[in-house]
Amino acid sequence: MSVCVVAPDKKPLMPTSEYRARKLLKSGKAVIFKYKPFTIMLTRIVSENMQPIEYCCDTGYKHIGVSIKSEKHEYFDCQFDMLQDEKKCHDDRRKMRRARRNRLRYRKPRFDNRTASKKEGWLAPSLRNIRDQHIRIFERFLEVMPIVSATFEMGSFDVHAMHEFEATGTVLKGDDYQKGPRYGMNTLRKAVFYRDNYTCQVCGKTTDKGAILRVHHIGFKTGDHTNRISNLLTVCTKCHTSANHKPGGKLYDLKPRTKPFNGAAFMNAVRWQMFRTLKSTHPDLEWHMTYGAATQEARRVLHLEKSHANDAYAMGEFHPRRRTPFMHFQKLRRNNRILEKFFDAKYVDARDGKTKKGAELSCGRTDRSESRHSEKNLRVFRERKVSKGRRVIRRSHYTLRPGDNVVIGGEKHRAKGVHNKGTYVVTDAKKSVPVKKVEKIIHAGGYMPVK
């Protein structure tokens, strides 16, 4: 791994080796300037011998590959993994916030924040975060390295054609683009029922036999809530129960017929916006945009395996023989902004005498139009209430956060969280230790190395 070097006036210089950086620090000729990436600052002015360095990035929705190289050396070869639960956290926070506000007082509905009033260039928070991460990673290296050119892979994807090819194996041509999965149907719900022949895909009942049909999201288990028709399934109300949504249920292990194309949709939405932002912010650099087909061909010529870091290495003008060891980083959440948690009430089940949550002994309805007193109603088996349901609102900021490294008794552990108002910490060894016994805290933030 290379070490970045800056001059006393913070001007980026050519990177150096770890061995030479240690000697400069030990002799007092340099001091530590930054840790991410590790950078030293020289204490006296030296002659500048600069070589052109290029930054190559394999952009992505989940993973970012980066390769920084010159004609003879590769200085950084790394992969950055994004947060995978960004949308879920935003949804949870919005749901809890709305519930808290509804308990305070009546608020007149406002419609100023709807789609019609959104400004040009608006992006969903999850997409905006990923776009900003690409920019921040680039600017973090640009601050400490003399980069003169940058290459980003930003392809354009035909999501409709990709979906149709994976579902049916056919290639769209001409007016086929006008005949999507909802062709001839005025609603998505009707299109799903028509495709499944108005039959429950779990028990096989039809509307002729009195079945009331519902639309089920197949990929709910993995957080796939998209309304693409391959992710929707026709089920009846007797099969569409909360029990069947849980592990062991009839709906739990089902998989969508086609995978989601979130990455392709993300790139179509942000590629030009991100490229123009970078180009306008740093106009003195030489900018290049490439596509996946060109990267794949370059990787094949170089006889490299498929990986995000190798894709970044295959881009650009330079392909040095001397490569640097691969580094893998995972982004960690800095703060948990979900202030509220809900703990369900517990009851004794009259059938087997076991203690179960209220959700397990619910009325079973998944729609407000259904009756509470149907044959799916399990509330009648609630025999005795063991504990009340409660809401817990975090009102203070704790010193320890999940992911922090702590030293206890000379041993290093990773904190999983705190409890008892922040006085106890739960470690990765599944032990609860008083915070007073923690000897050292190393806060985790941003990207942490993957072991």
Q: If you average pLDDT over residues 166-195, what whole number do you get?
A: 81
pLDDT band at 112 (very low <50, low <70, confident <90, very high): low
Residue 168 has pLDDT above 80, yes or no: no
Residue 447 has pLDDT above 80, yes or no: yes
Residue 113 has pLDDT above 60, yes or no: no
Pick the CATH number of 53-83+125-157+263-332 from 3.50.50.60, 2.40.50.100, 3.30.420.10, 3.30.1050.10: 3.30.420.10
Q: If you average pLDDT over residues 310-334, what whole number do you get?
A: 90
Q: Residue 84 has what pLDDT?
A: 78
Which range has the worst mean pLDDT, 78-82, 269-273, 391-395? 391-395
Mean pLDDT across the chain, nearest whole number? Answer: 86
Q: Residue 183 has what pLDDT?
A: 80
Q: If you average pLDDT over residues 48-76, what whole number do you get?
A: 92
Domain-wise residue ranges, the chain: 3-42, 53-83+125-157+263-332, 162-245, 345-388, 405-446
Q: Please, is 181 exposed, middle or buried when counting C-beta atoms within 10 Å of its C-beta (0-12, 13-18, 19+)? A: middle
Q: Residue 131 has what pLDDT?
A: 92
Whole-structure pTM value? 0.78
Q: Residue 223 has what pLDDT?
A: 75
Q: If you average pLDDT over residues 22-31, what whole number do you get?
A: 94
Q: Residue 74 has what pLDDT?
A: 94
Which tokens go with 277? Answer: 């932002």
Residue 109 has pLDDT above 70, yes or no: no
Q: Residue 116 has what pLDDT?
A: 57
